[in-house]
Structure 1
Amino acid sequence: MSRWLISIAALSLAACSPSQNDSYAQQFVSGDVAVHEVFWAVDHNTPYPFTTSGEISCVYYPEFGTEVYFEPAGYSKDSSIGTPLNKAAAKSLEKDGMIPNVPYSIKKDADLSEAVDVGLKACGEV
């Protein structure tokens, strides 16, 4: 009888313990950075690439890599789909049949390289 109780106790502890598998945690990373034209020039060499203040966000999924998006201020909600800033984001949206639903706020002929770098740094990559 005591072996039976020990087995049940061990099983319940194992069932309630967090998984030791970190693979999901290593596969999903996200972050965001608020951006505004007034403060952009302090840390960046290129002109502010957006027509409004907002947020550069990133999310990493193994299939495409780190996706970087821009969302104008006031549109950072669960149902909003930001403007893709890099190829990984554009490919991900295309694969899922999604299109951005926030106002397009990238200046004409803007250099997005530093904006993409900001997004990649938010996810811990460069």
Structure 2
Amino acid sequence: MPRWLISIFVLSLAACTPVHDNSNEFVSGYVAVHEIFWAADHDTPYPFMTSGEVSCVYYPDFGIEVYFEPFGYIEDSSIGTPLNKAAAESLKKEGMIPNVPYSINEGADLSEVIDVGLELCVS
């Protein structure tokens, strides 16, 4: 079959392909956090007892979930510490509990770290 005929076929197939709806897909992201670097970009004190990752997961059913996992416990089987209501409700509904060491400083202000996590999934 001539190349030009194949090109026309492929182009017509692509032109007739329906647009994919991304509204039901999940989005995720993570960022490393460390006490030494936190103060450079944030106004609140570092909220954790150790370094780790703040991650986000977006599922249409729950919204954006934000978690913290200490370094050394970041793997596929880890269930991070929920930092926002969506994360806590998601774990509760699934009957799951965090399996990483609890590493939030007592009385810590989590508002800024939650914002960091939320922005991971919307950017």
- Normalising by the residue count of structure 1, what TM-score does the alignment of the two structures yield? 0.81
Q: Deviations over 1:90-122 (max 9, x none)?
A: 000000000000000000000000010010111
AA at the equivalent of 1:22 = D
1:106 is aligned to 104
Alpha-carbon offset, residue 79 of structure 1: 0.1
* Counterpart residue number, 1:31: 29
Displacement, 1:75? 1.0
Aligned letter for 2:83?
L
Structure 2 unaligned residues grouped into runs of 5+: 1-8
Aligned to 1:78: 76
Residue 115 (1) aligns with residue 113 (2): yes
Show the counterpart of 1:41.
39
| AA matched with 1:47 | P
- 4+ aligned runs moved over 3 Å, structure 1: none
- Render the CA deviation track for 1:35-56: whole Å, top value 9, x for unaligned: 0000000000000000000000
Q: Which residue of 2 aligns with 1:3?
A: none
Listed as ranges, the gaps of 5+ residues in structure 1 are: 1-9
Does 1:21 pair with 2:17?
no
Identity of aligned residues (%): 70
Deviation at 1:21, TM superposition (A): 1.8
Give the RMSD, CA atoms, in angstroms.
2.1
Change (3 A) 1:36 1:19: farther
Aligned with 2:61 (options 60, 63, 72): 63
TM-score (norm 2): 0.83
2:87 aligned residue (65, 86, 89): 89
Which deviations, in whole Å up to 9, do the C-alpha atoms of 1:19-41 show, x marking residues without a partner?
742335x6311100000000000
